Amino acid sequence: MAEDTVKKATKIVVDIPDEDVATAEKAMNDQGFVTPKELPRLMDIDYSRSLAAALTKAREGKTEEGYIYSEEFDFAGGEIENIIWNMDKIKNRDDAKRTLADHMGLTMPTETLSKADKETF
């Protein structure tokens, strides 16, 4: 009997330059989010996740509040873009996706989901 191989997800941590943290923090304070428009390297999901972690750490003990979240979204034409946002300012994923689309000039995809896929659990 062959053993099943279980693959574990590996977390890739990217070193984030201090100037990128400062640029992202300014955008977070000014508009509640940061996108590849402010930092082009945000197109890389590993960079985006690492920057979100760096922002969270940089904001500890400061007056800035909010839960910092990073996610990538699909748009029409196969475009995939990342956004990092403050969940105290942008309350949910749908609003974050719309904000990203508006900010980057992207077209929301036409969703063709089955009835089961439309259920929220």
pLDDT digits (tens, 9 = 90+) for 6-31: 666 667 778 999 999 999 999 999 99
pLDDT for the residue numbered 79: 93
What does the alpha-carbon distance between residue 27 and residue 21 come to, in Å, rounded to a whole number?
Answer: 10
DSSP state of 62: S
- For 42-62, write each residue's pLDDT tens digit: 999 999 999 999 999 988 877
Residue 92: CB atoms within 10 Å: 11
What 91-97 contacts at long range (C-beta under 8 Å, 24+ apart), as own/partner pairs, is 96/33, 96/69, 96/71, 97/73
pLDDT top residue among 75 and 9: 75
Give the whole-angstrom CA distance, residue 87 versus residue 70.
10
Report the predicted TM-score, pTM, of the whole model to 2 decimal places. Answer: 0.79
**Average pLDDT, integer, range 62-70:** 80
Task: Please give the pLDDT value at position 6.
Answer: 61
DSSP, res 102: H
DSSP 73: E
Predicted confidence (pLDDT) per residue in 86-121, tens digit: 999 999 999 999 999 999 999 998 877 777 777 776
Biggest CA-to-CA distance, the chain: 59
Q: State residue 80's pLDDT score.
A: 94
